[in-house]
Structure formats: C-alpha cells, structure tokens
C-alpha cells in the first residue's frame, strides 16, 4: 500500500505531498537512528556488561532464579549479555517493530532464542500472569531509556509503570542509579543563542541601534534543551560561577515517580557576574556500591580527562535561565532544577523554594514568537556584530538615495539595515504568520512600523500593487529560510530571485550575487561511528542490524535522475559556483550537483 507524506520542499519552500511506501516512516527512523553509534560506545557497553554480571550474581547468591526484564532492548544486546552472565530468562521489550523484528533475528543468530523472548510492545502494555506476556514479575530490570537530558525519552513513566506492574519490589536494576549535575556560568556567546541583543549600525548620521522588543527580553525562551558537545566549547567562552552541583538522583531499583518535582541546591558563587546559563550532564552507576560508573561529564569535571569516551548519542546540555541575574561572590543563592515527565529546566532563587513556600514552577514556554521562528544558531547569527558590519559594508556599496529594496529572507534584520543606510523605500516578504508577527514587533519597537512595508505572502504571489507600483532596484537576502533543513537549502533564494524577476528594474542589483558550495573529504577520529557498521559488539554478532540500516538508508536518502555531478565525485576540496545575478530556471540541476554532499 502507498501513503502520501507531506514535507517542505527546500527548493521552493512549499509543502508537497509525495507518494511513499507504507514503511517510509520506519525507514526514515532507522536511517537517521544512532543505533550504531551506541553500539560503538565501548565504555557504555563494558559498564553495562559489568553491571549486568554483578546484578545476576547478587540474585543467584540469594538462591533465586535470575529473571530479567530488558526495556528498550534494541538489538537485544543487553539481554544477550544477561544470558551470557547466567540469567535464567530474559523478556526483551521493543516497541519499534522493525527493531523488534531485527532483535528476534539477532537473538536467534547468536543462539539465545531459548532464553530470550522479544516482545513487540510498549512496556506499559506488557501483561504479567499465566496468559500474559510474562508468567511472573522479573527480579532484574535492565534498561537503556536515556537521552542527553536523561529523562527526555520517557524514562520516568516507564520506570514507574515497571515497578508497579512488571518487576518485584526492590529488584536489582542496571543501571542502579542516575545523578544529574549542573554548573552555573556566565557566557555572552551562549546567551546570544537565546536572546536578541541590540544590533548596532553605523550610518552617515551616526550610530543607529536596533533594540529588541520588550516581549523578547521578557520571554523565558524555548523550553527545549540544547544538546551540545561541551568538550568542543572553548573554556574562554564562559566564566564559571558555581562548583559542579549534584542536583538530583534517581534510584532505579525502587519505585520511581514521574510526578513533577523540583530540587534546590545552595551555593556560594565562585565569582561575581551575570548568571545566564546552566551547563548540565549526568552519570549512571551500574551497581549499588557505585563502583561501575558511566559519566557524561565534560573534560574539566571528568575523573580521567585523557580517557574520555567520545559519544554522540549522549552529550551534555545547555539550559538558559528565564532571565539573566546578577550574582555577587560571598552571597548565597539557590539553583533549582525542575522536571516533569520529559523535561528539565532551571531557575535561580535567593532562598530555597522549601523555605519561602514556593511550589513547583511550570515549564517555561516561548510567548514572543522569536524562539519558534529562530533556532539557537540563528539567534547567534543575528547577534554576531561582525557579521552585521559586513552586511552593512556590502549594502553601502550598492545603495543609493533612490533605491527600492525588497528583502526576501525569513525574520531578517536586513530590511532595517537597508532603511538606516539610506534606501528610499524598503519592502520585506514574510511568508509565514509567525515571522510576520515577529517582524511587526521588532519594527514597532524601533519606530519603523510605518517605514518598512511587510508583505505576508509567498514570493511567487507578489503583485505590482504589493510594491505600490514600483520596480525593485535591490533584491537582497541573507539568505535564511525556515524551510531550510540543510545549509544548501538556502539556495531557495535562487528560486525566489526567478519568481520576482518581473518586479525588478533592468540592471537591478541582487545581493548576494553568487553562492558557492564546498565539499571536503576528511577523516574523523570519532564522528564516523554514527554511520559505521558495527558487525561484532562485545562478542555478539549484530550484522543483521547493520544490514537493516543499510537498506533503510538506501531507501530514504534522496536520489536524483540526472546522476551525480562529475565535478564533485573525487577527493579533496570541491567547489560549485551559482550565480544569482541572472534569471535562471536551473533548479532541477541542483539535485545532481548536491547529491555527493547529502
């Protein structure tokens, strides 16, 4: 059976409906998964194996059979480890059917079919009893339900249900415990990923400052965590304001609650500054004694910085406080970690919430539109004053007092630069309601609501009336478009340039005038693992998973009828140049040109 899938076409910016195989979503999920990256994580695998061995031994030493429940089994690796360690039987739960089917095959290939039962259900649907999926409750709980935020994949509700319905009281759990850590820092660079700073423009009349609307300044920001490899962030990019604080722990061997909660930690600042950002990570202890530990700590908080395990499936987190707050060395503050079923967020308070009677705060939600329109890197771009200065310098070379400008980027400040630098009239196209609403706020805050005309429609629908009967002498864009998933999708600007050609004056200037795509064949020390076949993992054959991913990638990755561009097929640095200066219906050619880069 065929299904229709809607998606944004990055070339035209429009939503298109394409006919796909009924298993299209499955293949997309598998092709973009991090299964192989997790299996290449040697530190993770070894620690889990050690933890499982000790858990099975403790149960056996009590004279009991070792019955294992493995939630989120994936390839079945942890279940196979458990059987090898002496477990009597394993129930391996996997809700994703293609992965469950692969686990059945992998378990069979490795000779464990008589000791492992793969159950293709969500763990909350598993039944226990004579006619159930499991005849009795398990006494060992093995899971790998964690993401960068620890709880973002629903670990807490899954554990809560498992303890109520699937495992024995005070069962052995691998991992046994998790602890979340936080460190408060001041970082103008990271803060620029969350707030709009004043933007300065040098004009012939002096300096103009683009100020953010009050709604943006008050907005607590996006509620989602920002995953990041903190080991790749320069220590000069932030000032440490607190020690590393253990915020809260979860004991997985006991009943777990998924109810909303908060945890506060008092601290004395290490330095005075602006509290802006919380850096966070977690570790898991595989055994009750805490001797077998797997940590996500960055190098400055790691017990063995030289022995860091690189991993991309688990990283560190950056959280932004709702507002920056000044703190002074020698005073006492409370950092508060809040969480619900799936998210963690932080606040800074003068006293403990328990002392002043405050209750758990609701998760912050963006109400200014900016965090819905701009992602964190986009905030960073707009706040990059050097970048703004270069755009202003380029605009000065082409603007004249009679310039009629049309800006075609989403949520861009270029239209404001053009106005401040002396254009006669400026129009900006904002295709989405969100970007239109946001730009109206920014224009109003800077008293430009009657100076710059916002056109809320798609570029190909632009009419002469929208431009008040005028012809455009300068077409400009950054370019940045919210429909762009990959950098080269911003070549949508090329499509726009063609779509509005009838509205351009003869000899009109198009800026940028050209774009080039660069590719380089490199060797990564670590990153290659996210797509590398695993083959053998801790002595278990998982080739079946490798083959499954290979098939899904072949079905999911774009293919183009014209074949690859010969100019991009070799090693070394490759470059293709695209000119925006001429009207051109060249978009079908972009497929083969870009294919080797995707």
355 is catalytic: no
Neighbours of 509 (CB within 10 A): 19
- Residue 459's Cβ-side half-sphere holds a number of Cα atoms within 13 Å equal to 27
Query: Based on the number of CB atoms within 10 Å of its own CB, is 168 exposed (0-12), middle (13-18) or buried (19 or more)?
Result: middle
What is d(CA 431, CA 190) in angstroms, rounded to the nearest whole number?
Answer: 29
Closest by Cα among 504, 508, 500, 501 to 471: 504
Q: Which one is catalytic: 20, 29, 125, 144?
A: 144
Instruction: Please give the helix or strand (H or E) that residue 25 lies within, else none.
Output: helix 24-31
Of 153, 215, 381, 456, the catalytic one is 153
Is residue 285 flagged as an active site residue? no
What are 476's two structure tokens? 């400009």
Contact in structure between 33 and 546 (CB atoms under 8 Å)? no
How many Cα atoms within 13 Å fall on the side-chain side of residue 357?
Answer: 0
Reported in sequence order, the residue ranges of 383-447 that DSSP labels E, i.e. its strands, are: 404-407, 425-429
Distance, in Å, from the CA atom of 223 to the CA atom of 339, rounded to the nearest integer, reads 11
Tokens of 330: 């020698």
Contact (CB, 8 A) for 250 and 280: no
Which residues, other chains included, contact 155 with Cβ-Cβ below 8 Å and sequence gap of 6+?
143, 145, 146
Q: H/E element holding 39?
A: helix 35-39
Specify whether the CB–CB gap between 296 and 308 falls below 8 A: no
- Exposure string of 87-111, with b = 16+ CB inside 10 Å and e = fewer, is bebbbbbbbbebbbebbbbbbeebe
Give the Å distances, CA to CA, from 244 to 178, 274, 279, 315: 16, 17, 9, 17
Residues with Cβ within 8 Å of residue 390, at least 6 apart in sequence: none
H/E run at residue 546: helix 543-556
How many Å apart are CA 335 and CA 186, to the nearest integer?
Answer: 14
Exposed / middle / buried, residue 453 (Cβ in 10 Å: 0-12, 13-18, 19+):
middle
Q: Locate the DSSP E strands across 12-154.
A: 15-21, 67-71, 89-93, 116-119, 138-143
Is residue 527 helix, strand or coil?
helix
CA–CA separation, 148 and 226 (whole Å): 9
Closest residue by Cα to residue 58 from 143, 174, 167: 174
CB 345 within 8 A of CB 317: no
**Spatial CA neighbour of 460 closest among 425, 495, 428:** 495
CB-CB contact of 479 with 409 (8 Å)? yes
User: What residues are annotated to the active site?
Assistant: 144, 153
């Amino acid at each position: 059976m065929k299904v229709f899938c809607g998606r944004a076409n990055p070339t035209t910016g429009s939503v298109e409906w394409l006919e796909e195989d009924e298993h299209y979503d499955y293949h997309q999920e598998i092709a973009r998964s991090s299964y192989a990256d997790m299996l290449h994580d040697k530190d993770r695998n070894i620690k889990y194996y050690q933890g499982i061995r000790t858990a099975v031994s403790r149960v056996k030493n009590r004279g009991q059979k070792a019955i294992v429940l493995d939630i989120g089994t994936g390839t079945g690796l942890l279940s196979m480890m458990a059987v090898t360690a002496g477990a009597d039987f394993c129930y391996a739960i996997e809700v994703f059917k293609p992965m469950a089917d692969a686990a059945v095959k992998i378990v069979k290939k490795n000779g464990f079919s008589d000791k492992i039962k793969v159950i293709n259900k969500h763990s909350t649907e598993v039944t226990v009893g004579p006619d159930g999926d499991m005849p009795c409750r398990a006494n060992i709980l093995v899971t790998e339900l964690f993401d960068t935020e620890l709880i973002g994949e629903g670990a807490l509700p899954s554990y809560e249900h498992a303890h109520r319905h699937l495992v024995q009281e005070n069962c052995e759990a691998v991992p046994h415990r998790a602890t979340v850590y936080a460190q408060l820092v001041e970082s103008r660079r990271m803060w620029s990923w969350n707030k709009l700073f004043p933007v300065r423009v040098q004009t012939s009349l002096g300096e103009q400052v683009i100020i953010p609307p009050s709604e943006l300044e008050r907005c607590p920001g996006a509620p989602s965590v920002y995953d990041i490899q903190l080991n790749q962030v320069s220590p000069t990019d932030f000032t440490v304001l607190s020690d590393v604080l253990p915020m809260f722990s979860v004991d997985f061997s006991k009943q777990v609650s998924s109810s909303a909660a908060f945890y506060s930690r008092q601290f004395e600042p290490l330095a005075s500054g602006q509290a802006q950002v919380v850096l966070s990570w977690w570790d898991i202890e595989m055994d009750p004694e805490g001797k077998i530990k797997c940590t996500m700590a960055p190098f400055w908080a790691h017990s063995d910085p030289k022995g860091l395990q690189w991993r991309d499936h688990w990283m560190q987190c950056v959280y932004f406080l709702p507002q920056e707050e000044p703190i002074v060395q020698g005073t006492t503050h409370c950092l508060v970690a809040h969480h619900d079923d799936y998210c963690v967020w932080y606040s800074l308070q003068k006293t403990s919430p328990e002392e002043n009677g405050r209750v758990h705060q609701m998760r912050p939600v963006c109400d200014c539109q900016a965090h819905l329109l701009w992602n964190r890197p986009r905030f960073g771009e707009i706040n990059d004053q050097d970048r703004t200065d270069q755009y202003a310098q380029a605009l000065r070379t082409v603007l004249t007092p009679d310039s009629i400008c049309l800006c075609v980027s989403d949520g861009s400040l270029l239209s404001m630069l053009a106005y401040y630098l002396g254009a006669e009239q400026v129009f900006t196209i904002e295709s989405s309601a969100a970007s239109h609403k946001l730009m109206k706020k920014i224009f109003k805050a800077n008293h430009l609501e009657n100076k710059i005309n916002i056109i809320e429609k798609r570029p190909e629908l632009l009419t002469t009336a929208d431009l008040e009967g005028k012809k455009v002498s300068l077409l400009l864009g950054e370019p940045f478009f919210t429909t762009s998933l990959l950098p080269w999708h911003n070549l949508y600007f090329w499509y726009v340039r063609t779509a509005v050609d009838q509205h351009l004056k003869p000899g009109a200037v198009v800026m940028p005038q050209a774009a080039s795509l660069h590719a380089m064949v490199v060797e990564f020390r670590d990153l290659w693992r996210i797509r590398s076949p695993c083959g053998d993992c801790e002595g278990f054959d998982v080739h079946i998973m490798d083959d499954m991913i290979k098939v899904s990638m072949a079905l999911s990755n774009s293919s183009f009828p014209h074949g690859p561009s010969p100019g991009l097929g070799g090693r070394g640095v490759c470059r293709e140049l695209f000119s925006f200066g001429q009207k051109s219906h060249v978009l079908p050619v972009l497929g083969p040109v870009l294919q080797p880069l995707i």
